[in-house]
Amino acid sequence: MEVQAVTKFVRISPEKARHVARLLQGKSAEDALAIVALVPRKAARLLGKTLRSAVANAENNNDLRLENLTVKSAEIGAGPIIKRFRTKARGMAGKIRKRTSHFRIVLTDGKA
């Protein structure tokens, strides 16, 4: 059985979040929770919230146990980009692109 949790419009660039997401794939849910608790990055804190939500979905909606769950996939997609500008010399403007992400974590218990 597969269970998922999705968090959208997170204010972190997808490239930065993918560094932490790669650490979670294929790990047990307990190990993944320990990893996000110890990695000193903003992305780890944000992915931890999504991971805890997926675990809660599995326990409350499908009566699955934390010990049996593994992280099947942790996907980071690009969200909309908030566009700003900074004034530059001689009347020019420099682009500032504030990126957002969509997180999707899928947990599985290994059974069909």
Per-residue pLDDT of the chain (112 residues; tens, 9 = 90+): 899 999 999 999 999 999 999 999 999 999 999 999 999 999 999 999 999 999 999 999 999 999 999 999 999 999 999 999 999 999 999 999 999 999 999 999 987 5
Q: Say what the pTM is.
A: 0.91
pLDDT at 110: 80
Beta strands in the chain (DSSP E): 2-10, 70-78, 82-87, 93-98, 101-108
Residue 112's pLDDT is: 58
The rounded distance, in Å, linking the Cα atoms of 52 and 63 is 15
Domains and CATH numbers, the chain: 2-6+13-77+101-108 (3.90.470.10)
